[in-house]
Amino acid sequence: MENFIGYWNGVLLENAMQRTGFMYGYYLEDKNYDEGTRAIMEGIYEPSQEMVGEIAEPLTDDQEMARVNRIAEALGLECIGWVFTSLPLEDDLLLSPEEVLRIARLQNEHSTDAHFTKYVLSKFVSCAVRPDPANNGAPDLHPFMVSEQACAMLRDGILSSSSSERRCCLVREAGKDEMIPDFVVEGRSDKKIATDFFIVRVNDTAPKKHQRMFTHADFPRENRPTHPQRRDDLKKYFSKIPKSEASWSRFADFHLLLYIAKEIDVDTAVTIAECVRDRKDIPEGVTMIINELTQ
């Protein structure tokens, strides 16, 4: 997360460029809350993306996503949320209408009925990173989800936004032979609903003791136009790591594994990922392939 925020704050922000990424990790029971769930983030995949207005949007035809998900599965991880940057919002607004709709869409796309009740739910977390004017513009992280009501309204096509309305989501007018229920806001029916009504706050913490899956986070990130990955990065990466370190640990870098899947082949990356997951030695044949590339 520090690397992601640092790249945006140090390289992109001065040109008003934004950044987004998908967070990969796993879920644990959180005993501090009744039936609580804790989302543990281990890595961020930065997809190919472009600026659409004032926000960064992943390309819809990202060919790498399938590889990323396969490597994550071999590691025992899954996509638990996304992180995005933006300029500060006005009037202490927590989420803009457009952000509420995007979060609701992503929660719907990552919903599951795996719960024993078969009730469809989502544990997909969204993290907004914005400059904090109260802290000299230093980046600040805000994790959110949106309510199931927002997700259902978007799913049923009755919730939208407008460029002229900066604080509220809009309920569309009913069409012919169609009935849309009234939404009561502060005691009266209203077609405008402030985004605050849909927000679910999520606590973010850093554990005192964290058994990290990845022992390294030094390999260059993927899809950064100002810092493209190169084959020589492999040699530079391994030259900094002691050869006495356990073989699985030398490869325990999320972005290294994604690069190997792209530049060598997915099966090799999966084999390495499973070794990282199980903390066991990398097969000799695999290390020979990597050694040939780093000579």
What does each C-alpha distance from 73 to 54, 61, 76, 110, 252 come to in angstroms?
Answer: 33, 21, 5, 15, 15
Taking residues 27-33, what's their average pLDDT?
Answer: 88
C-alpha span between 272 and 281 (Å, rounded)? 9
Confidence class for position 238, pLDDT limits 50, 70, 90: very high
Tell whether the model's pLDDT for residue 78 goes beyond 90.
yes
C-alpha span between 261 and 176 (Å, rounded)? 52
- pLDDT the model gives residue 279: 96
Taking residues 219-233, what's their average pLDDT?
Answer: 93
Tell whether the model's pLDDT for residue 39 goes beyond 90.
yes
pLDDT in tens, 156-174: 999 999 988 989 999 998 8
Confidence class for position 212, pLDDT limits 50, 70, 90: confident
User: pTM for the full model?
Assistant: 0.93
Tell whether the model's pLDDT for residue 192 goes beyond 80.
yes
- pLDDT the model gives residue 104: 97
Tell whether the model's pLDDT for residue 235 goes beyond 80.
yes
C-alpha span between 135 and 130 (Å, rounded)? 11
C-alpha span between 123 and 31 (Å, rounded)? 16
The H or E element spanning position 138 is strand 138-146
Cβ distance 157 to 180 under 8 Å? no
- pLDDT the model gives residue 249: 97
- The residue that leads in pLDDT, 272 or 231, is 272
Listed in sequence order, the residues at least 6 apart from 235 whose beta carbon sits closer than 8 Å to its beta carbon are 293, 294
- pLDDT the model gives residue 277: 97
- pLDDT the model gives residue 266: 95
C-alpha span between 122 and 178 (Å, rounded)? 29
* Average pLDDT in the chain: 92
Confidence class for position 213, pLDDT limits 50, 70, 90: very high
- pLDDT the model gives residue 113: 82
pLDDT in tens, 104-137: 999 999 998 877 788 888 999 999 999 998 888 8
The H or E element spanning position 274 is helix 266-278
The three state secondary structure string of 177-191 is CCCCCCCEECCEECC
Tell whether the model's pLDDT for residue 295 goes beyond 80.
no
